[in-house]
Chain A
């Protein structure tokens, strides 16, 4: 056994904040996914776990779309291979020409038939589930299907098979290592983030801990069998449809000639559609989940992690371990996992629970968090830099985390999701945005948040909500956040008569007004001062806004003085406000 690393050199210590910033950048990134690198990383991650890489990697725009894609992909893949093989294989061959290797295709077909279809598709035949024959399914289905077909064609041409695995292994590793290294260092240079948030983690930790045990819930639900919600389907449908039309079909057009396309469409797509749509059911999902999903996920994730961890334990002393955790992992964790990931996950979980729980159970199985595991990877990345060679086994996962959002790993296929297009946070790193979604993905899925509190989207869909509507929200924290997000100025007319008004010193012609706040918003008794900015904003508009003060203050000048922590006399003597 090699000698333990028990202290960091000055150079290594200097490296820690740089690595931290590099991973923070990845974890909070809103750049479009680098699909190529993400796929490369996924291949390497499977290989590192001793598994054959997936033949099919399906891209979707958001975690929410991923939840659907993971559920329906197995049937589509199975049917596709099945029908291509049996019905139109020969015709596709003619069109594509001599590039297609019969042997490879046959092998792919055989393997897929053996491993996916036999487990999954046989079950499908026994099932008729009317509920699944709906638009959500049809749309996601079309998207996944198109991607599967394009990729199968590519892969057959490229002749990827088991026999070259050993070769691929070495090449992928070398490439992945180089890319991970290059990316982290590029990002390090571009980043300055002097925010440290241990206290932030504590705040949000409470939210995370409060969450209900997902597994228990899903089990209970299996027996409950809720009704399908039409509205939900329509909503998801809209989100997915735009993507399908704009992206997928364009891609298919690029890759497949018109003639082949029409032929395949008529002979495969239509038939697969009829058969699959009618035949997918809850039991199939459960079966797939139990037998395939969890195993691959556990292997890629836990097994590799355990091995890497064991070597870190052997080779790194406790003190260095603590130092890396404190200076790299904990800080990335506080911002990425505790703030962003916890909220995205909670939103997906709530939506699944409220809308499609029974049809999409176990959506978390096989899930890898990609960029949201930045903290976890930052720790092992650092250990790798300190010389723990086993950390290379995580290089594939790291590359994917540097390139994309969540992903799901299953036998023979993977789902990978884009990063968000927008991510807005407050000074403490909590998700926060006035006037729009705090997190928004490129398919439009996302959610509103105010200082780390998620708010229901329907509250804002029809513009500025009324005071009455806000006060009807069942959760007091949501009420308070909704009102602050709306802006007190927009609600001033609904507040009734002010307790007192006064001219604002140093701000000629403008008034301060002190109001009582409607019941049910704050635990602490507060009053509200409404004031007007001393300078118009860049649009030339004069902005009026409200701030809350202790309720025992009954004079607007005293309220402002309290806010600045100065005597009333000092505020009253204000000579100029800008």
Chain B
């Protein structure tokens, strides 16, 4: 079920940055992970002690080519979400609500892969439901951070 960097990046037709080890495995994790300005956080942990967990509708099955979670206008860099090997059931709901870009659901026994087209490489996502959130900063206005 696991993937190497070269396999993961190939999903997005991205060449492997020289500093990443091609055959190293991308860990597939069920906890929170960050990829540059994005965080992948299990819904169960995203609202701990804050408020009621929102109800996210069931997403759509990921298309073969994946989805662009964020496309950087300025840099052209993109965070792509892809299904992992033998993972036909991975679904994606685009929320675009506050910091939540969307929700990815990975069925038992499957995996998903978040890939950055520049330096950030790839993050493997284990079964579960996760929010993918973007980052903000406070600079006399709330601004979204984009790398």
Within 8 A of A (CB), among B66-89: 72-74
Closest residue of chain A to B146, judged by CB?
A: A427
A480 touches B98 (CB 8 A): no
Nearest to A523 among chain B residues (CB) is: B140
A526 to B143, CA, bound (A): 13
**Is B41 an interface position by the 8 A CB rule?**
yes
Residues of B within 8 A of A537 (CB): 118-119
Q: Binding site of A, secondary structure by majority: helix, strand, loop or mixed?
A: loop
B10 within 8 A of A: no
Would you call A9 an interface residue if the criterion is a C-beta within 8 Å of the partner chain's C-beta atoms?
Answer: no
Q: Once the chains are docked, how many angstroms separate the CA of A386 from the CA of B121?
A: 50
Return A48 CB to nearest CB of chain B, in Å: 38
Q: Closest CB of chain A to B79's CB: distance in Å?
A: 11
A-B contact pairs, 22 of them (CB 8 A): A427-B73, A480-B140, A524-B140, A533-B120, A538-B119, A540-B19, A547-B135, A548-B139, A550-B138, A565-B98, A565-B133, A565-B136, A566-B45, A567-B50, A571-B32, A573-B32, A573-B45, A575-B31, A578-B35, A578-B36, A578-B120, A578-B122
**A506-B33 contact given A427-B74, A536-B19, A550-B138, CB 8 Å threshold:** yes
A576 contacts which of B29, B49, B50 (Cβ < 8 Å)? B29
> How many residues of B are counted as interface, with CB atoms below 8 angstroms from the partner's CB atoms?
43
Known: A564-B41, A567-B47, A577-B34. A426 touches B140 (CB 8 A): no
Once bound together, how far apart are the Cα atoms of A359 and B134, in whole Å?
52
What 1/0 mask marks residues of chain A from 402 to 426 whose CB sits below 8 Å from any chain B CB? 0000000000000000000000111
Are the CB atoms of A563 and B136 closer together than 8 Å?
Answer: yes
A570 within 8 A of B: yes
Footprint of A on B, CB under 8 Å?
Answer: 17-20, 27, 29, 31-36, 39, 41, 45-50, 72-74, 98-100, 116, 118-123, 133-140, 145-146
Pick the contact of B120 from A506, A523, A534, A550 — CB < 8 Å?
Answer: A534
Is A195 in contact with chain B by the CB < 8 A criterion? yes
Please list the 3 inter-chain residue pairs (A to B) with the smallest Cβ-Cβ separation, ordered nearest first. Answer: A427-B73, A575-B31, A565-B99
Which of the residues B49, B99, B133 comes within 8 Å of A567, measured between beta carbons? B49
Chain B contacts of A536 at CB under 8 A?
19, 119
User: Cα distance A538–B100 when bound, in Å?
Assistant: 28
CA distance A493 to B30 in the complex (A): 38
Q: Shortest Cβ distance from B86 into chain A, in angstroms?
A: 23
With CB as the reference atom, state the residue of chain B lying closest to A434.
Answer: B74
A167 within 8 A of B: no
Residues of B within 8 A of A14 (CB): none
Q: Are A576 and B46 in contact (CB under 8 A)?
A: no
Decide if A576 touches B119 in the complex (CB within 8 Å): no
> Looking at B19, B50, B100, B137, which has the most chain A CB atoms within 10 Å of its CB?
B137
Q: A535 at interface (Cβ–Cβ under 8 A)?
A: yes
- Which residue from B72, B135, B139 sits with its C-beta under 8 Å from A564? B135
A488–chain B nearest beta-carbon distance, Å: 11
Per-residue CB contact flags for chain A residues 542-578 toward chain B (1 = under 8 Å, else 0) read 0000011110000000000001111101110111111
Bound complex: CA A480 to CA B138 (Å) = 12
A571 nearest CB neighbor, chain B only: B32
Q: Contact: A570 with B34, CB < 8 Å?
A: no
- B135 CB contacts on chain A under 8 angstroms: 547, 563-564
